[in-house]
């Protein structure tokens, strides 16, 4: 009698009636939504503390972070997300090479962003003791580093799998799930930058 054992885990996923691709996407989506809610609370804290001028919100003589550096670091994250999207669309169109190249570039951009972010935090013109704005801004900046480090880990994994040909136009579930996180990783610094621009600390 011929063996009835499925030839691959992919076949088994259909045989047991469980859509593992859907579970993967939902799992990452729920994680990202949880992270989004946490960030919303942090942004709301910025707005609230600014409104009540808690603990000398922005003491006189405190300097602002360098805007140019902020824009460059934010731009690197956005550019990384663009390359991720191009790679994903390239894979859906059947081009594994496009995915591999774009994921490598996206990961390198994320590495450049986290390197710049760490240096940026090391040269901030204030510390956590310099008012509520300073402590809130440092918290948001540090959390962005966490986002980038996790993104780099995922990016290296995706690039390695792409080089091994583990993705195809009909096997994109894992990549699309990581995309949820990657786009959020790029959107977070944009939100923080816009918030500081529309609600500047010194006013």
Burial class (CB in 10 A: 0-12, 13-18, 19+), 78: middle
Question: Distance between alpha carbon 179 and the CA centroid of its chain, in Å?
Answer: 9
Looking at every residue in the chain, the average pLDDT score rounds to: 88
**What is the residue extent of each domain of the chain?**
20-49+65-198
Which of 108, 116, 117, 112 is CA-nearest to residue 156?
Answer: 108
- For residue range 108-126, what is the model confidence (pLDDT) as tens digits? 999 999 999 999 999 999 9
Examine the pLDDT at 14 and tell me if it is beyond 50: no
Examine the pLDDT at 44 and tell me if it is beyond 90: yes
CA dist 73 and 78 (Å) reads: 9
- For residue range 162-189, what is the model confidence (pLDDT) as tens digits? 999 888 888 787 888 999 999 999 999 9
Examine the pLDDT at 10 and tell me if it is beyond 50: no
Choosing among 1.20.120.80, 3.30.559.10, 2.40.128.50, 1.10.150.240, the CATH entry for 20-49+65-198 is 1.20.120.80
């Amino acid at each position: 009698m011929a063996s009835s054992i499925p030839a691959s885990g992919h076949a088994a996923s259909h045989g047991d009636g469980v859509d593992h691709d859907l579970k993967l996407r939902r799992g990452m989506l729920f994680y990202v939504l949880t992270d989004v809610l946490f960030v919303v609370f942090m942004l709301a804290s910025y707005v609230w503390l600014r409104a009540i001028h808690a603990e000398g919100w922005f003491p006189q003589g405190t300097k602002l972070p360098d805007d140019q550096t902020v824009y460059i670091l934010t731009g690197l994250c956005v550019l990384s997300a663009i390359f991720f999207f191009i790679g994903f669309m390239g894979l859906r169109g059947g081009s594994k090479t496009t995915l591999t190249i774009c994921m490598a570039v996206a990961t390198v951009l994320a590495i450049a962003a986290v390197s710049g972010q760490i240096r940026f935090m090391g040269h901030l013109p204030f510390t956590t003791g310099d008012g509520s704005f300073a402590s809130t801004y440092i918290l948001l900046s540090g959390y962005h580093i966490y986002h980038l480090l996790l993104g780099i880990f995922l990016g290296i994994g995706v690039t390695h799998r792409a080089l091994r040909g583990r993705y195809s136009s009909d096997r994109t579930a894992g990549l699309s799930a990581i995309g949820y996180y990657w786009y959020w990783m790029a959107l977070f610094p944009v939100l923080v930058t816009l918030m500081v621009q529309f609600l500047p600390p010194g006013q």
